Structure 1
Amino acid sequence: MTTHNAKELRKQVAPYENSNTKTSILQIVNTVIPFLALWYFAYQSLTISYGLTLLLAAAAAGFMVRIFIIFHDCTHHSFFKNRTANKVVGTIAGVVTLFPYSQWGHEHAVHHATSSNLDKRGTGDIWVLTVDEYLAAPAWQKLAYRLYRNPFVMFVLGPIYVVLLKNRFNRKGARKKERLNTYLTNILIFGISGLLIWTIGWKAFLMVEGPVFFIAGMLGIWLFYVQHTFEDAYFEGDKDWEYVKAAVEGSSYYKLPKLLQWITGNIGYHHVHHLSPRVPNYKLEEAHNNTKPLQNVPTITLSTSLTSLRFRLWDEKQKQFISFSEMKAFHQNKKLKAMTKPEL
């Protein structure tokens, strides 16, 4: 992609960067009210059947993901035109989803600025090693990496670690306002949780909130994972890295059924979002449909996205993700060829 084409593409998306206050408020209403209603019905269903409770909790988890998208847009200052409104709504949404607004906003901004840059990995992204880095790593790091990339660790233990533990502490070097926002978020989370436990009891609270948080957490990590982990993704060293290429080639278009697209706040149009984070979630589809170059990007579906589970390492030579078994087979063949090479 030439510099001219990159500038032109960003220019084509610019008209969609303005939020609509009425639409934003409507999205809050049609997201928060169903979430609260489903949570309440899940609690009431405890006296009927816990299977029904889990079903309602799963539905509530879907709306929690949608609340997180509102939170996410607020951190980009794209949900409202007013920055204070974004911070207030974002902080409240962060309490519901258990994410500190200022801290996560900072890390996510770094993620956008460095996504797919091999020389600037480590903040707000998933741990990715190249084949050469993995082969050169000591045994303990290889083990740690294999554990980290294991689906059980990433999607089951991951939400517990990130949401319940990591999010409760300030990052090193955080400024005063960011630290205060994290403290405020924690106080509100503990206060509301304590009030609910006092009202309905700790057991009922955990039986409802537990699966809601856990399912939403797994879905959130899964979405982030598949949007940056697909076979022909884009990764380059800082010297050759390009922002627009990283956006449209390093972020996938996750083509979901309409209901799931709505529940996930159109975040499947991740290539559009990375190209222009100021586009609110409810305009991402429109921007995609009306910008032809954005329709020729890496596209994955529900079924094809499952193949991303086997991707573990980035192969800089082939410019694609590969599995551990593919890496092993490649190097075994390489050794075999070296051993059987006839002497001159």
Structure 2
Amino acid sequence: MVVSEVIDSHGNKAPSGRVWPDWFPLLKAFRNCDKKKTVWQLISTIIPYFSLWYLMIQSIQQGYSYLLTLALGVVAAGFLVRIFILFHDCVHGSFFASKGANTFWGHFLGVLVFTAYEDWRYSHLRHHGTCANLDARGLGDIWTMTVREYESASTLVRLQYRIYRNPLVLMVAGSLLSFLVGNRFPTRGGGARALRSVILTDLLILAVGGGAWAVMGWKTYLMIQIPVLWIAGIGGIWLFYVQHQFKGNYWARKRDWTPLDAAMQGSSFYKLPAILNWLSGSIGYHHIHHLSPRIPNYNLKQCYGSVPALQAKEPITMMKSLACLRVKLWDEEGKDMVAFN
């Protein structure tokens, strides 16, 4: 083990005396951006996405069954999830070496995923700095109560929490509510930059939507945009849920919390089939992402294969991930996520 002064998600010093494993410096080699890979990811993601839009427009205008449109929409939603991952890399400054390029493409991709770049950057970086910290919950994470908090809460709060944690609410309804409604307003505490970003993104979404409306008609536009955004949103929220809500998880009070434990124990390794891993930009290697967010998505798998200590993390398979739906509360005494009963 070594004492580190350089390890932090975004280059800040770790707290004094914090101990990091001696393998941690190995991660630095995977932070370099590869411009060719970055450009290819943009091309191989955005062009298929818009091509699918063209096919969906034609399927509606040519009078084909709407089921065909929805089938194409499911595939398009997969690409939209991937677009969000590229947007996410821009937020961390890991997609391009240039800050200006990350900002430009972050705003551009943000319009496609209905998310303001600077506003989401504010809340998401807070999530990375406070992940699994019981004394810093409430921003950029999923509402998680402890057993003690739940038992001492009022009947109304318990009911609100149960409704919120219901998968139909959190993911199915929450998908459209989050991306269509919630993202139209700035995060509290985000400041003027986040507010300007939300206003700019909202105006661009209106402009793009208005242009599409004029070209294809409002009915065709809504018949495509709503289901694609909805399905992609469900997929994205599910990924985020499994990344931090699972048996064997880690939460700690501020005095005991460490970023190493938050990454290696409080973030999952979601092992997905190859096509889903590609569409999700390898974000299943989430323990690595929290250890070093500056690693581009296309280097995560290679990093995992090169550092044996990272492979000690027990993976969650797709089948096992379904059990994550049962965990609702953090048991401080038992040190694990538990169900309501």
Q: TM-score range by the shorter chain?
A: over 0.9
Identity over aligned residues, as a percent?
Answer: 44
Indicate whether 1:253 and 2:269 are aligned. yes
CA distance in 1, matches of 2:23, 2:137: 26
Unaligned runs of 5+ in 2: 5-18
Q: Compute the displacement of 1:171 (Å).
A: 2.3
- Confirm or deny that 1:41 pairs with 2:71: no
1:113 aligned onto 2:141:
no
Matched, 1:53 2:83: no
Q: Distance in 2 between matches of 1:164 and 1:294?
A: 37
1:187 equivalenced with 2:169 (yes/no): no
Name the structure 1 match of 2:42.
28
Q: Which residue of 1 aligns with 2:90?
A: 74
Aligned AA for 2:185?
Answer: F
- Deviation for aligned residue 1:166: 1.3
Aligned equivalent of 2:163, options 147, 150, 166: 147
Structure 1 counterpart of 2:242, which letter? V
Q: Provide the residue aligned with 2:247 in structure 1.
A: 231
Cα drift, residue 63 of structure 1: 0.3
Equivalent in 170, 175, 181 of residue 191 of structure 2: 175
Tell me which amino acid in the other structure corresponds to 2:34: N
Q: 1:222 and 1:172 mapped to 2: Cα distance?
A: 24
- 1:101 corresponds, among 117, 132, 136, to 117
SS of 2:22's equivalent in the other structure is helix
Secondary structure at the residue paired with 1:250? coil
- In structure 2, distance between residues paired with 1:238 and 1:97: 34
**Contact (CA 8 Å) 2:250, 2:335: kept in 1 or not?**
yes
Q: Computing the radius of gyration over CA atoms, which structure comes out larger, 1 or 2? A: 1
Deviation of 1:176 after TM superposition, in Å, equals 2.4
Q: What is the alpha-carbon distance in structure 2 between the residues aligned to residue 226 and residue 90 of structure 1?
A: 25
- TM-superposed deviation, 1:7: 4.3
Amino acid across the alignment from 1:124? G
Matched, 1:202 2:208: no
**Structure whose residues are more often helix by fraction:** 1
Aligned counterpart, 1:338: none
Tell me what 1:332 maps to. none
Q: Deviations over 1:243-297 (max 9, x none)?
A: 0110011110000010110011000000010000000000000111111111111
Write the distance in 2 (CA, Å) between the matches of 1:144 and 1:167: 21
2: CA distance between counterparts of 1:115 and 1:211? 31
C-alpha deviation, 1:212, in angstroms: 0.4
Specify which of 125, 145, 155 is matched with residue 129 of structure 1: 145
The offset of 1:160, in angstroms, is 1.6
Distance in 1 between the 2:175 and 2:318 partners?
Answer: 21
Report the secondary structure of 1:145's partner residue.
Answer: helix
Deviation at residue 2 of structure 1 after TM alignment: 7.9
CA distance in 2 between counterparts of 1:310 and 1:286 reads 32
Q: In the alignment, what sits opposite 2:291?
A: 275
Contact 1:61–1:213, Cα closer than 8 Å, also in 2? yes
Q: Distance in 2 between matches of 1:173 and 1:273?
A: 25
Where does residue 308 of structure 1 map in the other structure? 324
Q: For residues 304 and 220 of structure 2, what CA distance do their matches in structure 1 show?
A: 43
Matched positions, count: 325
Distance 1:14 1:118 in 2: 29
Please give the per-residue CA displacement for 1:146-178, whole angstroms capped at 9, x wherever unaligned.
Answer: 000001100111112211111111223333232
Match of residue 335 from structure 1? none
Alignment-mate amino acid for residue 81 of structure 1? A
For the residues of structure 2 that align with 1:167 and 1:9, how far apart are their CA atoms? 39
Deviations along 1:288-343, one digit per CA (max 9) or x if unpaired, are 11111111113101100000001111111111111112xxxxxxxxxxxxxxxxxx
Aligned structure 1 segments of 4 or more residues deviating by more than 4 angstroms: 1-5
8 Å CA contact retained: 1:251, 1:274:
yes
Q: Report the TM-score when normalising by structure 2.
A: 0.93
Would the aligned equivalents of 1:249 and 1:298 in 2 still touch at CA under 8 Å? no
Question: Superposition RMSD on alpha carbons, in Å?
Answer: 1.3
Taking the aligned partners of 1:174 and 1:324, their CA distance within structure 2 comes to 34
Contact 1:10–1:276 at 8 Å: present in 2 too?
A: no
Of 158, 178, 201, which residue of structure 2 is paired with 1:162? 178
Return the alpha-carbon distance in structure 2 between the equivalents of residues 174 and 106 of structure 1.
6
